[in-house]
Copies of this chain bind each other. A is one copy, B any other.
Amino acid sequence: MEVENKQVILKGYIDRAPLESDMELKLGNKIKLKVSKGSSSILVKNLYLSCDPYMRARMRDFHGSYIPPFVPGKPIEGFGVSKVIDSDDPDFEPGDIVSGLTGWEEYSLIEDTKKLRKIQHDDIPLSYHIGLLGMPGFTAYAGFYEVCAPKEGDRVFVSAASGAVGQIVGQLAKLYDCYVVGSAGTQEKVDLLKTKLGFDDAFNYKEEQDLDSTLKRYFPEGIDIYFENVGGPMLDAVLLNMRTHGRIAVCGMVSQHSYHDKDGIHNLFALIRNRIRMQGFLQSDYLHLFPEFVEKVGDYYKQGKIVYVEDMNEGLESAPAALAGLFTGKNVGKQVVCVSRD
């Protein structure tokens, strides 16, 4: 039995932030809802798809990165939560919910099932498994505990603070008795940080004339930990405000993601003056901590100690706009696309 399988494809490689028009909804593709015997594959129905900034790097014709580029004309690939429809892998059976890499399409045939994670149904929303309890959450977890090496009372600054990663970093830092300030790009996000997400303070960087002065206002004694999500002028201003032996976890650099930064960073001399450690990291280097992360953060959520803000777009056809919106700051919270609720 074949069914139609709508897909979202990348039209061609780009070397800038993606626009909605760089992707296309492709109709007419058919798929059999059965896997071949002996293939060890599974066939899934995609429920929720994740839009993440790193995906921009896969839209570029560059093969030297830690992850290969997308294939133009083929569905975009990303993290998702999916339901198993048919399985030739003894570890999965129809009805199972899995999280892992899948395609931007209604149904996907997944050949490499090793990295899929089976999700237990409980009181955690399924879509959180690509956010709070997925790659973004784990990025926040590994970045904060392992890279930032926090101490109680540390003064923590988070940029892109209401985003998929930043909102968790801030909440973990609060739970660690740190003082936490976040920056975001709209008043709505700033309000969210100060109320729902429990940051000590927050500001709209777009309304600040001089980020150096702004940071001196929020951190008169300087910053111990900067969770770096944006790069560019914000990083430069932070460098001037780091305390001695401060740590910068370099995670996103959305503003210059995997690209040559035209303006450049000018204040690295501060690394010496204040003996700052600046460390790039990828969550994939810390996967041995994933089980403890799921348990700890899952418990925080169930105990009401942590919340998660999602921006949910409805329907696969909304995916191109959702992904493009990440780079203009359109999303409020973690950007998810709901393909189907079951």
Which A residues have a C-beta under 8 Å from some C-beta of B?
Answer: 65-66, 231, 235, 245, 250-253, 256-282, 285
Contact = CB atoms under 8 A, between A and B. Distances in A.
Contacts of A268: 231, 235, 250, 253, 256, 261, 265
Contacts of A260: 266-267, 269
Given A260-B267, A264-B265, A280 B285 contact: no
The count of identical subunits is: 2
> Majority SS of interface residues in chain A?
loop
Contact of A272 (B250, B266, B277): B250
Nearest to A285: B275
A273 B285 CA distance: 12
A65 to B, nearest CB: 6
Nearest to A270: B280
Contacts of A258: 269, 272-273
Contacts of A252: 272
A259 B265 contact: no
A64 to B, nearest CB: 8
A25 to B, nearest CB: 31
A269 B261 contact: yes
Given A250-B271, A264-B264, 12 more contacts: A65-B273, A231-B269, A258-B269, A261-B267, A261-B268, A262-B266, A265-B266, A274-B280, A275-B280, A275-B281, A275-B282, A277-B279
B282 A269 contact: no
A259 B269 contact: yes
Nearest to A276: B280
